[in-house]
């Protein structure tokens, strides 16, 4: 499991099962970014954790689907972080879907460029390797955010 900042960790499904680590780091919220997991790991008590899943897959399903998934997951992450919670964002291995979700969060909610967000996550999660088809989607979030800001300034 990798600490990205004081509230966000990225990890694998195996990390999500490590209750002693979750408790030691005050993690109370788990954001699953993988289709293959339906709910909390069997060893965790549902009353101890808030859990949310976005069924992201690494297969060519199209830009719109990827965009919708990452927007949904990063919005939930933003809500939890804004409320002061400590969050584990995980997928199967913790190298692509979870990483891409946190990159999206930094771009959409913290105003980072794609490169800044990527490097911020890379500092904490060295083994990251986003799925090739995710990269254009993640970069498009920066362009969309910049266009929205320009339009707001004109008004």
- pLDDT averages per 10-residue partition of the chain, 155 residues: 97 96 96 93 89 96 95 98 98 98 98 97 98 97 74 56
CATH classification at residue 43: 3.90.190.10
**pLDDT computed for residue 145 by the predictor:** 72
Which of 17, 32, 33, 91 is catalytic? The answer is 91
DSSP string, the chain: -EE-SSSEEEE-HHHHT-HHHHHHTTEEEEEE--TT--SS-TTS-GGG-EEEE----SS---HHHHHHHHHHHHHHHHHHHHTT-EEEEE-SSSSSHHHHHHHHHHHHHH---HHHHHHHHHHH-TT----GGGHHHHHHHHHHHHHHHHHHHH-
Number of structural domains found in the chain: 1
- Model-wide pTM > 0.95: no
91 tagged catalytic: yes
The range of the structural domain enclosing residue 59 comes to 2-154
**pLDDT computed for residue 38 by the predictor:** 84
């Amino acid at each position: 499991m990798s600490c990205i900042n004081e509230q966000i960790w990225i990890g694998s499904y195996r990390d999500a099962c490590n209750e002693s680590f979750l408790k030691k780091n005050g993690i109370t919220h788990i954001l699953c970014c993988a289709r293959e997991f339906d709910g909390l790991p069997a060893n965790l008590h549902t009353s101890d954790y808030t859990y949310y899943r976005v069924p992201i897959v690494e297969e060519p399903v199209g830009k719109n689907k990827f965009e919708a998934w990452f927007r949904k997951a990063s919005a939930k992450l933003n809500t939890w972080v804004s409320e002061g919670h400590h969050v584990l964002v995980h997928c199967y291995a913790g190298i692509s879907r979870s990483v891409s979700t946190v990159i999206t969060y930094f771009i959409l909610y913290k105003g980072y460029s794609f490169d800044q967000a990527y490097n911020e996550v890379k500092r904490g999660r060295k083994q990251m390797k986003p799925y090739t088809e995710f990269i254009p989607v993640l970069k498009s979030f920066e362009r969309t955010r910049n266009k929205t800001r320009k339009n707001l300034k004109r008004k």
